[in-house]
């Protein structure tokens, strides 16, 4: 399996830092906006977390992951190539 750029670390483990206590979601979407997987959904205390993401059942292609924590809501692209 070949993973382009820094995507390898995102597919194996997604790292994130939560800056304040509150509701946190981490979701993966395909390019059409369809939710593929919810990795985190719930209340988290501030700190650093590690989430394992098994992408072995996904088709090759472009995916977007989005983290929501309070007003913090970044999204990033990742490419998965089998």
Report the number of distinct structural domains present in the chain.
1
* CATH number, position 35: 2.60.40.3080
Residue 49 included in any domain: yes
pTM: 0.75
Displacement of CA 57 from its chain's centroid (Å): 15
| pLDDT, tens only, 8-66 | 455 444 555 677 888 989 899 999 999 999 988 999 888 877 777 788 888 999 999 89
């Amino acid at each position: 399996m070949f993973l382009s750029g820094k995507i390898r670390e995102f597919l194996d483990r997604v790292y994130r830092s939560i800056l304040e206590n509150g509701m946190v979601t981490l979701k993966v979407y395909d390019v059409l906006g369809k939710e593929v997987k919810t990795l985190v959904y719930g209340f988290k205390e501030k700190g650093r977390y590690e989430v394992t993401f098994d992408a072995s059942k996904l088709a090759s292609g472009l995916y977007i992951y989005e983290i929501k924590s309070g007003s913090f809501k970044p999204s990033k692209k990742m490419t998965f190539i089998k």
